[in-house]
């Protein structure tokens, strides 16, 4: 099998409303869509969601990198996933989000060629996945409204974005906990917004409020600070921005800095690297979460396949499409409340609506 052509799309999806985290505000999902065609008629689809404030990529820089990456893959065997990805990595060692879109499309082709759904191709089985839903930074009053809405929909857990300052962040959690009662777990995410002192202060206060964990309380490079917070806090600490690849995972294990790993395909460079990160976590006794950026149900479906295939993935944060104003995906995962159902069709099992696809700017490399 050979790669004969690759189509690159600017995959823009409007949001229902802007979403705010400590690092900035997102107005629209500006993603990258990759379609790899082969001489055997099998097509693979991949999507990357470049969160510039986390991965250092934009849609524009990703599209420029994707053009070069596509030229490198023309004529190669798509079933040689490691060889294809190593070629991309040698040429551009950065750009993990762009690379993840190619990675996803290659796995889609391989699973289709094997006539297996992706979770089965990865050596796993179908499991029950239940996602949380995220509340973004706002006034305590508005965040309480969101929490009550999510609780009413039957959420097993609510994720709350924090990372502004000690007083306001404590007020947000206190207000939410008071409104929803003691039982629904709260998952917090500061997106690097605190320093060590602030993080320790916030977590000391909210630690008795059924807070399941805190993601990335401080700057991604401050591993010693993460270890210090973990030692002082009764809230488990999860690495997100500190964890891009397997090398980061090894360092976090060696430093005993965190309790959990957050794996995101758009951050890790795709499934190939995510499998390594999870294996390191599993060997070290560190459970993982599968997270997301602002992907459509196409990439969310690939994320869900990966999570289902690896039992060390214990938490699921696959709610990005809840914020999208429209859904341009055919097939893919479905949501019953917050429970995720995987497709049984070969490959990822999701494709872009052809009518929506025709509206997107496209660059063809052949």
pTM for this entry: 0.96
Statement to judge: residues 170 and 313 lie in one domain:
yes
Residues 214 and 316 in one domain: yes
* DSSP character string of 121-182: HTT-----EE--EEE-S--HHHHHHHHHHHHHTT-S-EEEE--S-HHHHHHHHHHHHHHH-S
Is 168 flagged in the annotation as binding?
no
Q: Are residues 316 and 356 in the same domain?
A: no
pLDDT for 288 equals 98
* 255 and 155 within one domain: yes
pLDDT of residue 20: 74
Domain match, 361 and 243 both: no
Angstrom distance (rounded) from CA 109 to CA 119: 13
What is the model's pLDDT at position 329?
Answer: 97
Q: List, by residue number, the catalytic residues.
A: 161, 264
Q: Verify that 24 and 172 share a domain, yes or no.
A: no
Q: What is the pLDDT of residue 197?
A: 97
Give yes or no: residues 43 and 58 share one domain: yes
Tell me, what CATH number does 38's domain have?
3.30.390.10
Q: Residue 16 belongs to what domain range?
A: 3-115+352-365
- State the Cα–Cα distance between residues 239 and 263, nearest whole angstrom: 9
Q: Output the CA–CA distances (angstroms, integers) from residue 289 to 162, 286, 302, 313, in the order listed.
A: 19, 10, 14, 5
Handedness of CA 319, 356, 66, 276 (dihedral sign): positive
Query: How many structural domains is the chain composed of?
Result: 2
Whether 163 and 204 map to the same domain: the answer is yes
Report whether 189 belongs to an annotated binding site: yes
Residues 163 and 64 in one domain: no
Instruction: Answer yes or no: do 71 and 134 share one domain.
Output: no
Query: Which CATH number does the domain housing residue 307 bear?
Result: 3.20.20.120
Question: Rounded to the nearest 10 degrees, how much is the dihedral formed by the CA atoms of 294, 297, 299, 300?
Answer: 80
- Separation in Å, CA 231 to CA 31, 134, 227, 235: 38, 27, 6, 10
Same domain, 160 and 56: no
Residue 291 sits in the same domain as residue 156? yes
Render each residue's pLDDT in the chain as its tens digit; 366 residues.
999 999 999 999 999 988 878 777 887 899 999 999 999 999 999 999 998 888 999 999 999 999 999 999 999 999 999 999 999 999 999 899 999 999 999 999 999 999 999 999 999 999 999 999 999 999 999 999 999 999 999 999 999 999 999 999 999 999 999 999 999 999 999 999 999 999 999 999 999 999 999 999 999 999 999 999 999 999 999 999 999 999 999 999 999 999 999 999 999 999 999 999 999 999 999 999 999 999 999 999 999 999 999 999 999 999 999 999 999 999 999 999 999 999 999 999 999 999 999 999 999 999
**What gap in Å lies between CA 130 and CA 317, rounded to an integer?**
8
């Amino acid at each position: 099998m050979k790669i004969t052509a690759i189509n690159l799309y600017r995959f823009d999806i409007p949001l229902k409303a802007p979403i705010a985290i400590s690092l900035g505000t997102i107005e629209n999902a500006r993603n990258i869509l990759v379609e790899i065609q082969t001489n055997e008629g099998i097509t693979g689809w991949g999507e990357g969601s470049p969160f510039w404030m986390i991965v250092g990529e934009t849609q524009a820089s990703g599209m420029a990198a994707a053009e070069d990456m596509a030229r490198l893959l023309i004529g190669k065997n798509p079933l040689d996933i490691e060889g294809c990805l190593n070629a991309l990595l040698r040429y551009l060692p950065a750009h993990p989000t762009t690379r993840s879109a190619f990675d996803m499309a290659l796995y889609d082709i391989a699973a289709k060629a094997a006539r297996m759904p992706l979770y089965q191709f990865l050596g796993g089985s179908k499991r029950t996945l239940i996602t949380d839903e995220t509340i973004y930074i706002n006034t305590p009053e508005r965040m309480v409204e969101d929490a009550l809405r999510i609780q009413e929909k039957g959420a097993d857990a609510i994720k709350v974005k924090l990372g502004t300052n000690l007083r306001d962040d404590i007020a947000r959690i206190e207000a939410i906990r008071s409104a929803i009662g003691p039982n629904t777990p709260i998952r917090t995410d500061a997106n690097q917004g605190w320093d060590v002192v602030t993080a320790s202060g916030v977590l000391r206060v909210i630690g008795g409020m059924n807070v399941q964990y805190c993601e990335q309380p401080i700057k991604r490079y401050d591993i010693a600070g993460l270890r210090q917070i973990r030692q002082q806090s009764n809230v488990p600490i999860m690495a997100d921005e500190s964890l891009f690849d397997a090398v980061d995972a090894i360092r976090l294990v060696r430093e005993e800095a965190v309790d959990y790993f957050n794996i995101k395909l758009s951050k890790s460079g795709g499934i190939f690297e995510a499998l390594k990160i999870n294996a390191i976590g599993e060997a070290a006794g560190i459970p993982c979460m599968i997270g997301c950026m602002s992907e459509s149900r196409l990439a969310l479906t690939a994320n869900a396949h990966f999570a289902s295939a690896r039992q060390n993935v214990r938490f699921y944060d696959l709610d990005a499409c809840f914020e999208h104003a429209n859904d341009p995906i055919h097939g893919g995962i479905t949501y019953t409340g917050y429970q995720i159902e995987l497709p049984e069709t070969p490959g990822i099992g999701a494709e872009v609506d052809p009518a929506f696809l025709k509206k997107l700017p496209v660059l063809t490399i052949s």
